[in-house]
Amino acid sequence: MARLYANENFPLPVVEELRRLGHDVLTIHETGQAGQLLSDEAVLAFACADGRALLTLNRRHFIRLHREQPRHAGIIVCTFDPDFVGQARRIHDAIEAHTGGHRHYALEKHLPLLVSSGGSTRHTADAGARRSTRVRWRYAGREVCGGIEEMNCRKRSYFLVSLAASGLLLLGLFLLLTETPPMARADPGSLFVKPDGLGTACTQAQPCSLQTAVAQANAGDTIYVGQGDYTDTGAAVITVTKSIALYGGWDGAASGPVGRDPAAHPTILDGQGTRRVVQITGPCTPTLDGLTITNGNANNTPFHTGRGGGIHGWDASPIIQNNVIIHNVGGITPTNGVGGGLLLYGASASALISGNLVLSNTAGIGGVGTGGGLSLQYSAVVVVGNVIQGNVAGTDQGWGGGLDLREFNGTVRGNLIQGNVARSYGYGGGMRVSYGSPRILDNEIRGNSSDRNGGGIYVNWGTPLIQGNRIVGNAAGSGWNGGGILVDWGNPTIAANYIVSNTAGSSSGLGLETGDYFTVTNNVIAHNNTDGIRLWELTCYGLIAHNTIAFNGGEGGIRLNYPYITPTIVNNIIVSNTYGISAHENASGTLDYNDVWGNTVQDYDLPGALQPGPHAVQADPHFVHAAGDDYHLRAGSPCIDVGMDAGVTSDMDGDTRPIGLGYDIGADEFRLLHLLYLPLVMKNHP
């Protein structure tokens, strides 16, 4: 059995036929997910458009995966984007970024049934080579597609396959890529469920109950769940122990093509406030897609009481996508609650949480609660494109209102994390990071709050990468720290974030309470009610470079609040705050190449051991439009080309540093746009 991924543009008849034959076909919604899924789940990638398919193979990952997981065969990404070349480049850039680049490719392992015009099944190509090979593809004794051309693009090897328009020919190609026969039951396929389903047929014409279908299904089967409410009398509405797929929104038609629309045909799994909704026990990789998971309560469940009210996954790596996870509870006093909406423990990088609405869940009521929306522990999940909103960590003490990441080594990318709360002794309104090395990228983290530290993000140990996020309007408790981000020990890299309009007792932008090394670069930190950046702890040290820090209150742009702090602060724009840079009398470190100007109380309030440096600038940086929060530099800015090499090779937009004669100061590396205005006589005007 192959595991294949297809996006919404991939022909539905082919998807259904692949599933009928026992292949595990899962849906993704962005070609940008290709690299993330490929890194641990797959070794083949296709981009389909205008009758053409792009195939790339990674030999190293193929050998590793087919030794460890021989039935995991590939990944399909199809698109009808007219810019085929650009789409292919984006996919391959993602693949290269997540696999460490391409090396040598061996097609004979991937295409064991390939019959070429020359009678040979061996076709290899080294990256950097350039050649063209004509072959014939055959499946079940018939030719299924035409020639294959191998094209080189710098260091990548591309394989462009000419395909006819019929999706069935694509099916023939994909079956060739499967090394082993289907490993599900003898007649794998689809089962159908309705709330009033009876018997055991589980067919489209005679649907069965949800529990019957789950019990009958074998690995690789798909269960289509019709509109209506589903519950049970046990500890969970359903318990899943196999790699099956459950798809909500089935239209209930007794015959014909299977139709799904979860919005038009809502499929509701209801815990009725007395049981967990979905229990997943591994090892397995099931799919939940298009379901509403609601009213779960794990308080009295016999397995891991108080954990995972909506979904509880243990040593499993599920695909959870396009669901509504709402109004679930982890635990109620005296049980401490974990993962109100969802808990995954021990999930591998093949697990995916994508496109879900995670709304109004609570980890703990009357006790300690951790992870109001999601709790991901000892896992490496990809969390992408979800709305995580209005969740509560705990009504007594809370950690991670939206998400709690504990020993987490996965990726949280492109999510809206909004209006979540860590109450009463609470830390991390939007999310709490505890140990691990998570990648927190390109999220909107807005309007979250904590009763204590870390309104947006609270880091308690670990080595997180926090990059490209918009962290706006979050609030830490009165008298507490880190409205946007609070790092309470750890080795963070905080880069290219927009940290604006957050509130706290101090360090309303970014607080660093760490004795470990930190890196803070290319951030815009502005309009926070107290300090933009504040450093605590006796041994706090690290790099603060190429940031734009403006219009912050409290003690201003950067505050070094303890003795013996020794950061390196270079190439920053620090303007229009109360203070520019201020420091404890025994603080030290390195300051230079900063533009500190126009701060309302004082530009520098420094002890004798700290001086602005010989290359300091004090001038209006000439932002494009600061009142509109556009902190790019205008032509003629005194910050252009006057910085030092601090080891930062890109800016907040991803532009290369340096551009021009030297490094620019601040988060932006100035790029001149060349505009040419032709006289009217040259435009053939009369």
Residue 371 pLDDT > 90, yes or no?
yes
Q: Which of 403, 423, 426 is nearest to 415 (CA)?
A: 403
Quote the distance between the C-alpha of residue 253 and its chain's center.
36
Cβ neighbours of 308 (radius 10 Å): 35
pLDDT of 149 reads 32
Residue 65 pLDDT > 70, yes or no?
no
pLDDT of 423 reads 86
pLDDT of 73 reads 30
DSSP-derived secondary structure for 659-686: -SSSBPSSS------------GGGGT--
Find the Cα–Cα–Cα–Cα dihedral 102, 108, 111, 112, rounded to 10°.
Answer: -150
Residues 6+ apart with CB under 8 A from 524: 497, 498, 499, 500, 547, 548, 550, 629, 631, 652, 667
Residue 537 pLDDT > 50, yes or no?
yes
Please check whether residue 458 is in contact with residue 450, taking contact to mean a CB–CB distance below 8 angstroms.
yes
Distances 39 to 29, 36, 155 between C-alpha atoms, Å: 17, 6, 19
**Greatest mean pLDDT among 52-56, 458-462, 674-678:** 458-462
**Greatest mean pLDDT among 161-175, 532-546, 643-657:** 643-657
**Greatest mean pLDDT among 21-25, 104-108, 341-345, 672-676:** 341-345
For residue 37, what pLDDT band results from cuts at 50, 70 and 90?
Answer: very low
The average pLDDT across 346-360 equals 96
Residue 563 pLDDT > 50, yes or no?
yes
**Bridge-based pairing state of the strands 156-162 and 52-57:** antiparallel
pLDDT of 173 reads 34
Residue 88 pLDDT > 60, yes or no?
no
The average pLDDT across 520-547 equals 92
pLDDT tens column, 260-300: 999 999 999 999 999 999 999 989 999 999 999 999 999 98
Structure tokens at 127: 């990256």
Residue 224 pLDDT > 60, yes or no?
yes
Residue 418 pLDDT > 80, yes or no?
yes
What mean pLDDT value characterizes the chain?
Answer: 78
The average pLDDT across 638-663 equals 96
Q: Phi, psi (5° rounding) for residue 167?
A: -65, -25
pLDDT of 19 reads 63
The average pLDDT across 203-232 equals 97
Residue 480 pLDDT > 60, yes or no?
yes
pLDDT of 273 reads 95
Lowest mean per-residue pLDDT among 143-157, 203-217, 349-363, 420-434? 143-157
For residue 608, what pLDDT band results from cuts at 50, 70 and 90?
Answer: confident
pLDDT of 26 reads 62
- CA angle (221, 245, 361) in 5-degree steps: 160
Please check whether residue 363 is in contact with residue 369, taking contact to mean a CB–CB distance below 8 angstroms.
yes
Lowest mean per-residue pLDDT among 45-54, 105-114, 570-579, 660-669? 105-114
Percent pLDDT > 90 in the chain is 62
CA atoms within 13 A of residue 437's CA, in its CB half-sphere = 0
First to last CA, the chain: 69
Residue with tokens 């995966």: 65
Residue with tokens 């007649």: 187
Residue 440 pLDDT > 80, yes or no?
yes
Lowest mean per-residue pLDDT among 96-100, 199-203, 608-612, 682-686? 682-686
For residue 16, what pLDDT band results from cuts at 50, 70 and 90?
Answer: low
For residue 18, what pLDDT band results from cuts at 50, 70 and 90?
Answer: low
Q: Which of 403, 398, 406, 306 is nearest to 347 (CA)?
A: 406
